[in-house]
Amino acid sequence: MSFDPEQVRAFEHAGWQQAAAEYDGTFAQATRAFAETLLDAAAVAAHMRVLDLCCGTGVVTAAAASRGARPTGFDFSSAMLTQARAAFPGCRFDEGDAEALPYPGGCFDAAASNFGIHHIPRPERAVGEIHRVLRPGGRFAFTSWAAPAENIAWKRLFDAIGAHGDPDAAKAPPSGGNLATAEATLRLLRAAGFADARAEPVEREWHLPSAAALVGALRRGTVRTAALIAAQPEAALPAITAEMQRAMARYRRADGFAVPIVAILAYATKSVG
């Protein structure tokens, strides 16, 4: 399938509009574990003007506000922003296109994006826009998921679908951002003009009551993975879930499962002068 940025944008937008209502109770339990580390990498502190790009339901925006910063959450999904405004009425949230930010140059002291950049059709444009709106010396940090080989939840799901379903069933458009390695994130930052770019893996645990809850979270709280699960024959889903249950047994704890998850944390600085 050829790459069409508008097709990718429409696919992602429709997916996040649908996932918004259940996101906080499902997949946000995985992504929020990286929020404070992300803000540390962006050097977010009190009184700073901070842009939270692809803010979703506002978890990172609110975390920045709790540090005394003056954050602005930005997202293209009105449904996600409805959730964010309801949860954090004291924070500012704007709707728009990450590839064409509606802000003047140099108006933010720092910027962050928690698992958002790889959903943008042309991430190089979005990162270029972040570079433009940051003041000289401002820091930008973002996270993206490491490859499925390093993320057990996705690897086991894809293996189970390969064994009992159809891995090609979703027919989703190709992603605009293949940012599953540190090298790819560094190239993106450097191409946008950032300096002192760094990237490193960060490990956390995703706590879930059951393997079925993991499948449910991926089905209701994501876009691409949700499309893949939804495209499976209904008769295949019990076998897929049972395979996941067997594969996840080693991560069982007294109160459920603790599944290792790995992100790539990348960050860099806008040069002064």
Position 252 scores a pLDDT of: 93
Position 2 scores a pLDDT of: 73
In the structure encoding, which two tokens stand for residue 233, read together? Answer: 């024959």
Q: How many helices (H) and strands (E) does the chain have?
A: 11, 8
pTM of the predicted model as reported, rounded to 2 decimal places: 0.95
Residue with tokens 């042309």: 122
Q: Which ranges constitute the DSSP H helices of the chain?
A: 5-23, 28-31, 35-41, 59-66, 78-87, 123-133, 152-164, 182-191, 211-221, 224-230, 237-247
Q: How confident is the prediction along the chain (273 residues), in pLDDT tens digits per residue?
A: 578 999 999 999 999 999 999 999 999 999 999 999 999 999 999 999 999 999 999 999 999 999 999 999 999 999 999 999 999 999 999 999 999 999 999 999 999 999 999 999 999 999 999 999 999 999 999 999 999 999 988 999 999 999 999 999 998 888 877 899 999 999 999 999 999 999 999 999 999 998 889 999 999 999 999 999 999 999 999 999 999 999 999 999 998 999 999 999 999 999 997
Position 1 scores a pLDDT of: 58
SS3 state of residue 119: helix
Position 173 scores a pLDDT of: 87
